[in-house]
């Protein structure tokens, strides 16, 4: 048992703070007391150490990349080249590029197909079908069309072919159509004679427009025309034709001759010798209706020049 110090000083009190507070001793102090200094890394767990090392590697790689980009940019600037800017394409831009690409591909395919059809006999003219024929023969139409067999349909100018066929005097109108793969259809509307006129070379047929389209025997039921200068530009001819086309079929079939010395003095002579005084072309439709009723009455002269007061003599 140890006694108080002999020099007369008070004995040191023991440090009981750590024991009274229940605290743990300082690890660093403990380590130092244990006899050596240890690095802080030894206090990290394996997971924290691995995460710290990954972050350090990423930071080092980012610094290296930034340094390399800065070096390249400085080099481009020193050589006078424009600095390239990185651009990121969005979804809309990618979609637009795809649309442009597919549109280009489709356009190339369409053009290629058109060139094949235009320059090769894949779809060529092998037959010409003509409809609407009467007095005109198919041989006349085919010859006038002038389309050689084997000509690609796309090379056939339908308007030009129609003009050629329309050059036939008896043809009033023409329609030309392509029918793939190898047919050209020509639809013809022939002229119909409304009146005829005697000439030294024979009887000439005139259609509703006053066109002299044929020299042939007069068809049954078509009246003769008495005018000085018949033709599409003659006012008297046009007046006579207007009257004839306004008549009802049963009345028109009875007319044997229509005389038009002027536009104001039109006269119809029926096959049985009766005479119709028509006058001018005013109120033509009304006159035609009155004449159909008047012809049911006996008489020799039927005057409808004034449709309000038609007379029979």
Q: Are 105 and 112 in contact (CB under 8 A)?
A: no
pLDDT at 7: 44
Strand pairing report for 183-190 and 195-199: unpaired
Q: Which domains does the chain have, with CATH numbers?
A: 124-190 (3.10.20.310), 193-312 (3.40.50.10960)
Categorize the per-residue pLDDT at 94 as very low, low, confident or very high, splitting at 50, 70 and 90.
confident
Q: Which DSSP string do the residues of 91-106 spell out, in sequence order? A: HHHHHHHHHHHHHHHH
pLDDT at 25: 46
Of 86 and 206, more confident: 206
Q: Would you say residue 97 has pLDDT above 90?
A: no
Q: Which of 81-85, 103-107, 232-236, 248-252 has the lowest mean pLDDT?
A: 81-85
**Could you say which DSSP state residue 125 is in?**
-
pLDDT at 87: 52
Over pLDDT 70: what percentage of the chain? 79
Task: Encode pLDDT of 163-212 as tens digits.
Answer: 999 999 999 999 999 998 889 999 999 999 999 999 999 999 999 999 99
Helices (DSSP H) in the chain: which residue ranges?
Answer: 17-21, 27-34, 46-79, 91-119, 138-145, 158-166, 235-246, 249-252, 284-294
Smallest Cα–Cα separation from 134: which of 173, 190, 176?
190
**Distance (Å, rounded) from C-alpha 281 to C-alpha 238?**
10
Q: Which of 18-27, 59-68, 184-193, 276-285 has the lowest mean pLDDT?
A: 18-27
- Sequence length of the chain is 313
As given in the structure block, the two tokens for residue 200 are 């030294």
User: Which residue has 């094949």 as its token pair?
Assistant: 116
Residue 123 in 3-state DSSP?
helix
Report the pLDDT averaged over residues 67-90: 71
Of 133 and 96, more confident: 133
Report the pLDDT averaged over residues 133-159: 92
The CA-CA-CA angle for residues 133, 135, 141, to 5°, reads 55
**Distance (Å, rounded) from C-alpha 172 to C-alpha 239?**
20
Report the chain's mean pLDDT, rounded to a whole number.
Answer: 82
**Distance (Å, rounded) from C-alpha 155 to C-alpha 240?**
45
Q: Would you say residue 86 has pLDDT above 90?
A: no
Categorize the per-residue pLDDT at 6 as very low, low, confident or very high, splitting at 50, 70 and 90.
very low
- CA end-to-end distance (rounded Å), the chain: 182
């Amino acid at each position: 048992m140890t006694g108080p110090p002999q020099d007369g000083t008070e004995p040191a009190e023991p440090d009981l703070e750590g024991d009274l507070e229940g605290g743990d001793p300082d690890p660093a102090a403990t380590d130092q007391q244990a006899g050596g200094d240890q690095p802080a890394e030894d206090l990290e767990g394996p997971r924290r150490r691995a995460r710290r090392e990954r972050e350090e590697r990423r930071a080092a790689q980012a610094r290296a990349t930034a340094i390399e980009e800065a070096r390249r940019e400085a080099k481009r600037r020193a050589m006078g080249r424009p600095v390239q800017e990185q651009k990121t394409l969005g979804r809309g831009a990618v979609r637009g590029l795809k649309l442009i690409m597919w549109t280009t591909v489709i356009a190339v395919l369409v053009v290629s197909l058109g060139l094949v059809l235009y320059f090769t006999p894949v779809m060529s003219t092998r037959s010409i079908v003509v409809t609407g024929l009467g007095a005109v023969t198919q041989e006349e139409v085919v010859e006038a069309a002038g389309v050689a067999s084997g000509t690609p349909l796309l090379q056939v100018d339908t308007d030009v072919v129609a003009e050629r066929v329309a050059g036939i005097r008896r043809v009033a109108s023409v329609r030309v159509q392509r029918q793939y793969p190898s047919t050209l259809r020509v639809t013809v509307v022939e002229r119909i004679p409304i009146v005829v006129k005697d000439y030294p070379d024979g009887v000439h047929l005139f259609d509703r427009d006053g066109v002299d389209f044929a020299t042939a025997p007069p068809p049954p039921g078509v009246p003769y025309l008495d005018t000085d200068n018949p033709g599409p530009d003659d006012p008297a001819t046009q007046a006579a034709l207007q009257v004839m086309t306004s008549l009802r079929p049963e009345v028109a079939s009875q007319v044997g001759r229509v005389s038009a010395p002027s536009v104001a003095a039109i006269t119809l002579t029926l096959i049985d010798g009766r005479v119709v005084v028509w006058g001018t072309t005013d109120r033509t439709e009304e006159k035609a209706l009155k004449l159909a009723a008047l012809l049911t009455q006996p008489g020799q002269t039927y005057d409808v020049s004034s449709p309000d007061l038609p007379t029979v003599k």
